[in-house]
């Protein structure tokens, strides 16, 4: 390729239209960087193109030469330009594309017989099977248990990430240690200990959200065909994973205090590989297990030889400032305890953790590492920074009154308009409220009617290991402001009335809003 002379290249460069705007907050060298980078990417400046000398360009742009030098240095560092001593700066070469050849058409592979039983597990398909047509308009969404966007601390996280990438640079971008960052494990252990959950640093295993912790536990305990116990109404994402691992998932009924002891006694000899529960604020029920029942549960666990898996996804979401009774993990060190920063902080962090009984560490650590080669160290560092700066405490002080207001708006609306026979209790913790409809009601029909009236709720069946449950609905109150929640509650009450008036009707099992969260 013939190199262009300095003057030719300068002409082309000027024609490409670089222009600077002083005083817009973006430093001038950064503006030059961005504009040259964009022209290289779009192909306006082609590989081998020689840029004008920094002195010439600085004069033309009316900036100090050092500004252009700084921009060119950054462009070289980033790989857009190469600099040849005595020759100038050139646009780098692009990698060559491979040849394209169209795929021939042949008979298909026998996928039906190739797919595993795991991937065919029935609960996995429920969300797709139950999902009805997408709702129209801007319905009040009481379906999704995701923290409200307006409550997510994006600016605080931005500061933390910015600091981590400036301060730790490339050391925050490699692979994670198998157990997670020691710094984060220390912070988690300290925070747990402060809140009454005994945890040593060595017991804390960082996971990619608590969902992965749950998957890890399922895979580490379940062989195909093993029984596995869950609450009668429980987190659908857990049902999915236990079913994928091949478990026979068995629901344990609850009374007002928690899982029914008499029902548990029947599982003493069942060789169940675990009992999964959310003692502080059940998803979907919002229920809290009493202190006395917690003691009974850990005693049963040891007697029956069945580990307890305590999912504390809602830790710190104490809406009335009242902490729950002692954690199961505080009563028994062999409990497997799961936590997450998705609900109380930011879902996109994808950081959760597991407090591991010592006897399981040798199995869990390599298995977690095999699953994804470790959780993003960048996000782990950012979370450390967030915790060390005290942002977490501040964030909770901000969101808890807001979630309380949302729960109260929902409770007020329901108190006013719900027909007789619907049972519910305002939850003291967490982000969901559970409605038990009268026997004979059709929750699918209620969901459809509610959607038509502009409010989305989730039918209880999706939280059942069998896919069948007493008629019920889950209402998540975290995702909408109080005013809209009040409107949603009103619409829902009318929908329940209307659906009841029509009797069982079509018995539809399709619901407009299905979410495993």
- Applying the rule CB under 8 A, the residues between 159 and 198 that interact with a second copy are 161-162, 165-166, 169-176, 193-198
Judged by CB, which is closer to a second copy: 168, or 453?
Answer: 168
- Applying the rule CB under 8 A, the residues between 360 and 389 that interact with a second copy are 360, 362-364, 366-367, 369-373, 375-379, 389
Judged by CB, which is closer to a second copy: 25, or 133?
Answer: 25
Stretch of residues binding a second copy (CB under 8 A), selected from 297-305, 412-420, 460-468, 501-509: 297-305
Nearest-approach distance from CB 256 to a second copy, in angstroms:
21
Would you call 340 helix, strand, or coil by DSSP? strand
Order of all β-strands in the sheet with 432-436: 432-436, 472-476, 458-459
- Applying the rule CB under 8 A, the residues between 208 and 237 that interact with a second copy are 208-209, 211-212, 215, 219-224, 226, 237
Residue 85 as a binder of a second copy (CB under 8 A): the answer is no
Q: Name the nearest CA neighbour of 89 among 45, 37, 49.
A: 49
The single-letter DSSP state of residue 148 is -
- Applying the rule CB under 8 A, the residues between 57 and 76 that interact with a second copy are 74-75
Residue 395 as a binder of a second copy (CB under 8 A): the answer is yes
Q: Name the nearest CA neighbour of 276 among 314, 239, 324, 224.
A: 239
Judged by CB, which is closer to a second copy: 3, or 393?
Answer: 393
- Of 2, 25, 86, 128, the one binding a second copy (CB under 8 A) is 128
Q: Name the nearest CA neighbour of 412 among 437, 443, 433.
A: 433
- Applying the rule CB under 8 A, the residues between 255 and 284 that interact with a second copy are 273-274
- Which tokens go with 425? 């209790």
- Applying the rule CB under 8 A, the residues between 132 and 151 that interact with a second copy are 146-147, 149-151
Environment class of residue 159 by beta-carbon count within 10 Å: exposed (0-12), middle (13-18) or buried (19+)? middle
Cβ neighbours for 139, distance < 8 A, ≥ 6 positions apart: 451, 454, 455, 456
Cα torsion angle, 193, 326, 208, 348, sign: negative
Residue 24 as a binder of a second copy (CB under 8 A): the answer is no
Cβ neighbours for 20, distance < 8 A, ≥ 6 positions apart: 28, 31, 32, 61, 62, 63
# residues near a second copy by CB under 8 A:
149
- Applying the rule CB under 8 A, the residues between 437 and 466 that interact with a second copy are none
- Of 6, 227, 347, 417, the one binding a second copy (CB under 8 A) is 347
- Of 87, 118, 136, 255, the one binding a second copy (CB under 8 A) is 118
Beta bridge partners of residue 258, listed in sequence order: 255
């Amino acid at each position: 390729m013939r190199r262009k002379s300095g003057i030719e290249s300068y002409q082309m460069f000027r024609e490409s239209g670089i222009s600077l705007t002083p005083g817009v907050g973006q430093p001038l060298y950064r503006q030059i960087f961005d504009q040259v980078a964009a022209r290289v990417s779009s192909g306006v400046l082609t590989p081998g193109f020689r840029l004008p000398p920094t002195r010439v360009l600085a004069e033309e742009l009316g900036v100090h030469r050092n500004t252009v030098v700084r921009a060119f240095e950054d462009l070289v560092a980033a790989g857009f330009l190469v600099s040849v001593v005595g020759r100038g700066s050139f646009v780098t070469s692009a990698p060559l594309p491979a040849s394209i050849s169209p795929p021939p058409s042949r008979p298909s592979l026998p996928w039906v017989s190739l797919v595993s039983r795991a991937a065919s597990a029935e609960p996995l398909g429920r969300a797709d099977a139950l999902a009805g047509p997408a709702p129209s308009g801007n319905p009040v969404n009481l379906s999704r248990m995701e923290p409200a966007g307006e409550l997510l601390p994006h600016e605080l996280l931005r500061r933390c990430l910015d600091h981590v990438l400036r301060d730790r640079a490339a050391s925050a971008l490699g692979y994670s240690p198998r157990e997670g960052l020691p710094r984060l494990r220390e912070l988690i252990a300290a925070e747990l200990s402060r809140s009454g959950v005994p945890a040593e640093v060595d017991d804390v295993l960082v996971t990619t959200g608590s969902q992965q912790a749950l998957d890890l536990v399922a895979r580490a305990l379940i062989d195909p065909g093993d029984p596995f116990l869950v609450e009668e109404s429980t987190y659908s994402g857990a049902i999915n994973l236990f079913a994928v691992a091949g478990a026979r998932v068995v629901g344990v009924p609850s009374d007002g205090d928690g899982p029914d002891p008499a029902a548990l006694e029947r599982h003493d000899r069942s060789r169940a590989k675990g009992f999964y529960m959310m003692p502080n604020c059940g998803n979907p029920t919002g229920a809290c297990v009493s202190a006395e029942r917690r003691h009974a549960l850990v005693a049963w666990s040891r007697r029956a030889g069945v580990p307890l898996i305590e999912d504390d996804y809602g830790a710190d979401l104490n809406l009335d400032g009242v902490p729950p009774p002692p954690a199961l993990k505080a009563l028994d060190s062999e409990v497997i305890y799961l936590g997450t920063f998705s609900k109380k902080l930011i879902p996109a962090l994808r950081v959760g953790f597991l407090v591991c009984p010592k006897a399981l560490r040798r199995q869990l650590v390599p298995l977690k590492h095999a699953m994804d080669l470790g959780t993003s160290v960048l996000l782990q560092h950012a979370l450390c920074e967030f915790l060390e700066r005290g942002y977490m405490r501040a964030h909770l002080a901000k969101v808890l009154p807001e979630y309380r207001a949302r729960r109260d708006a929902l409770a007020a609306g329901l108190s006013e308009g719900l027909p007789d026979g619907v049972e519910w209790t305002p939850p003291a913790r967490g982000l969901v409220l559970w409605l038990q409809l009268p026997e004979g009601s059709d929750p699918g029909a209620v969901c459809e009617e509610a959607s038509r009236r502009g409010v989305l709720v989730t039918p209880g069946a999706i939280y059942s290991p069998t896919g069948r449950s007493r008629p019920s609905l889950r209402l998540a109150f975290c995702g909408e402001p109080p005013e809209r929640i009040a409107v949603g509650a009103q619409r829902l009450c009318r929908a329940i009335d209307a659906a009841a008036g029509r009797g069982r009707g079509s018995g539809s099992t399709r619901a407009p809003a299905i979410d495993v969260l």
